[in-house]
Structure 1
């Protein structure tokens, strides 16, 4: 168990299928890390996504792609705890696990606007702010349109600068560089034999080519 001696040892959390990881994931994570002055961001690949179809690449392949993508970026770490847990990869369970390890550290769960809009469909979503802050990343020109009840919840927990040292409980809207990159489109391009250069790291493209990923649904490492 890790007890934080310094409340500024804040940790970011970015979960997803990362099927495959691309520059949209990586740039958003790095910019959130810089803007909130986090110690690091943990990229957490899910095993069984609760809200979408199964991944095409295996868990081992997705973890390998992530590890190579962030190999020389010390602010970004790969955390594979969900790959060792049975059942659907519920975010609240991951946060509970992180809280056992990082008792006092501020935790910042990073979500895109679409994910945040759908948060009320998540398992035990009311517990999330008890365990972490939520960072809602937006394009500079994007307006966060929310349904009335979610807008009320959002306004209730909207963070102020002085809230940064709290370990959880607040919502932080942040503007990040807009990179309209889609993992779905990348997979479709790969299956069609189209180039995907400059959408994801070359190290990830090399792994995809060497393992023959996204050529069929039997993509296994």
Structure 2
């Protein structure tokens, strides 16, 4: 099984999450893409809706888009979650799976600040998406990491039937139609009664309206 993982606070989940996930699944010929809502540390909860609301909105999106699956391993924890710990647990639970952790260039640039970040390459491939306004400076330490580990989508697909294929450690840059949408923008639009119909799935809009979320 080849499984993509897209983490986020999903506050709320929007087309900036959904469309890239679907496109990556198609381009990399992944079997599934898992949406993994993050656990929020207590000191940040004052700016977010409840965990239950965030989880339910992701569940609804997965029902609307069968290509996507919910992964609730982090959101149900009572302690802060580290990606490397999550992937260690997923590898134990699914030893035959190859995981593809999806991240934007902004996260990749800051990867050295992540807990035990170098161990990620022992657990998964990284799918690297360009984000509007973010580029990797030529002198960045992460440029060297990218040069050492980069592989193309074509190489990845050619090797899929090879039993000796690496199940982790590659960085796969992808050129996709990224949506310049932010959850902050959406929350502001909801507060000011602006149109959000092009930013969110219908099920998410209905849920926000039904539960009066993101109102002052």
- Normalising by structure 1, we get a TM-score of 0.86
Task: Give distance in 1, aligned partners of 2:63 and 2:167.
Answer: 28
Mark the runs of 5 or more structure 1 residues left unpaired by the alignment: 1-8, 217-221
Match of 1:191 in 2: 191
Instruction: Give the CA RMSD over aligned residues.
Output: 2.2
| Per-residue deviation, residues 143-199 of structure 1 (Å, max 9, x unmatched) | 543543211111111125155542100100001113111111001111222221110
Match of 2:78 in 1: 86
Alpha-carbon distance change, 123 to 142 in structure 1, aligned in 2, over 3 angstroms = closer
The answer to whether structure 1 residue 116 and structure 2 residue 108 are counterparts is yes
Match of 1:201 in 2: 201
Task: Give distance in 2, aligned partners of 1:82 and 1:141.
Answer: 29
Mark the runs of 5 or more structure 2 residues left unpaired by the alignment: none
Task: Please say which of residues 18-27 and 60-69 is displaced more in the overlay.
Answer: 60-69
Task: Give distance in 1, aligned partners of 2:139 and 2:183.
Answer: 27
Task: Give distance in 2, aligned partners of 1:25 and 1:123.
Answer: 24
SS in 2 for 1:83: coil
Alpha-carbon distance change, 189 to 38 in structure 1, aligned in 2, over 3 angstroms = same
Contact 1:117 1:146 in 2 (8 A): no
Alpha-carbon distance change, 210 to 33 in structure 1, aligned in 2, over 3 angstroms = same
Shift of 1:13: 0.3
| Per-residue deviation, residues 87-112 of structure 1 (Å, max 9, x unmatched) | 21211111111111111321100001
Aligned length: 207
Contact 1:65 1:204 in 2 (8 A): yes
Task: Give distance in 1, aligned partners of 2:198 and 2:97.
Answer: 35
Alpha-carbon distance change, 28 to 49 in structure 1, aligned in 2, over 3 angstroms = farther
Task: Give distance in 2, aligned partners of 1:87 and 1:45.
Answer: 14
Task: Give distance in 2, aligned partners of 1:140 and 1:215.
Answer: 28
SS in 2 for 1:136: strand
Task: Give distance in 2, aligned partners of 1:156 and 1:143.
Answer: 18
SS in 2 for 1:70: helix
SS in 2 for 1:120: helix
- Normalising by structure 2, we get a TM-score of 0.88
Shift of 1:44: 0.4
Contact 2:104 2:131 in 1 (8 A): no
SS in 2 for 1:195: coil
Shift of 1:142: 7.4
Match of 1:211 in 2: 211
The answer to whether structure 1 residue 145 and structure 2 residue 114 are counterparts is no
Task: Give distance in 2, aligned partners of 1:48 and 1:141.
Answer: 26
The answer to whether structure 1 residue 41 and structure 2 residue 12 are counterparts is no
Contact 2:108 2:142 in 1 (8 A): no
